[in-house]
């Protein structure tokens, strides 16, 4: 290469310092799912392997109001659910727990950065009905104590408590 051309290249090049290209990443920050996130992953906790027809029939009864969803069994008994839109997927998540043929199905969003084998199916939200407690025991401290036996209790911010009454 001609030395004149090399000289011209260096003159045209933009010189930057390492400070101008240095940045920091925040590993603790998790992005909200994108609008296109319509995929959930689930696992049916059962002693027996359920057939495809049994799974399909049970879910069609439970999710009859939701249109355009489909499922596919992937590795090790995991099930991938795809919904027509994100709202349907979030609606299914909000109504957990789900039971398929009497067996609990643990269902969760599928983070795109995890492979199916990396996802842990060890938790799912549950609704618990407590009956036969006399009304005079229904106070804030007793309710917090009962709730803490099931899971950590999270306080709502004061502004939200005031809005809900």
> What are the tens digits of pLDDT across the range 28-50?
666 555 446 789 999 999 988 99
* Average pLDDT of the residues in 139-143: 83
User: Mapping DSSP to helix (H, G, I), strand (E, B) and coil, where does residue 82 land?
Assistant: strand
123, pLDDT greater than 80: yes
| pLDDT score for 111 | 83
What is the rounded average pLDDT for all residues in the chain? Answer: 82
* Average pLDDT of the residues in 89-103: 93
Give the residue with greater pLDDT, 88 vs 136: 88
User: Tokens in use for 41?
Assistant: 């992953």
Q: Are 42 and 78 a contacting pair, CB within 8 Å?
A: yes
pTM for this entry: 0.62
| pLDDT score for 32 | 56
Report the CATH number of the 34-118 domain. 3.30.70.330
Distance CA 85, CA 32 (A): 16
| pLDDT score for 130 | 76
Q: Are 40 and 110 a contacting pair, CB within 8 Å?
A: yes
92, pLDDT greater than 90: yes
Q: Are 42 and 108 a contacting pair, CB within 8 Å?
A: yes
């Amino acid at each position: 290469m001609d030395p004149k051309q090399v000289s011209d290249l260096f003159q045209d090049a933009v010189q930057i310092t390492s400070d101008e290209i240095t940045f920091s990443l925040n590993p603790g920050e998790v992005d909200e799912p994108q609008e296109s996130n319509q995929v959930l992953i689930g696992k049916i906790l059962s002693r027996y392997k359920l057939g495809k027809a049994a799974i399909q029939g049970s879910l069609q009864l439970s999710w009859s109001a939701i249109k355009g969803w489909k499922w596919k069994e992937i590795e090790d008994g995991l099930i991938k659910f795809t919904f027509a839109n994100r709202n349907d997927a979030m609606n299914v998540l909000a109504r957990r727990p789900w039971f398929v043929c009497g067996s609990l199905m643990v269902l969760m969003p599928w983070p795109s950065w995890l492979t199916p084998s990396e996802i842990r199916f060890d938790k799912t939200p549950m609704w618990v009905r407590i009956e036969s407690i006399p009304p005079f025991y229904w106070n804030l401290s007793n309710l917090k104590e009962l709730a803490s036996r099931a899971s950590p209790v999270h306080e709502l911010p004061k502004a939200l408590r005031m809005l809900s009454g």
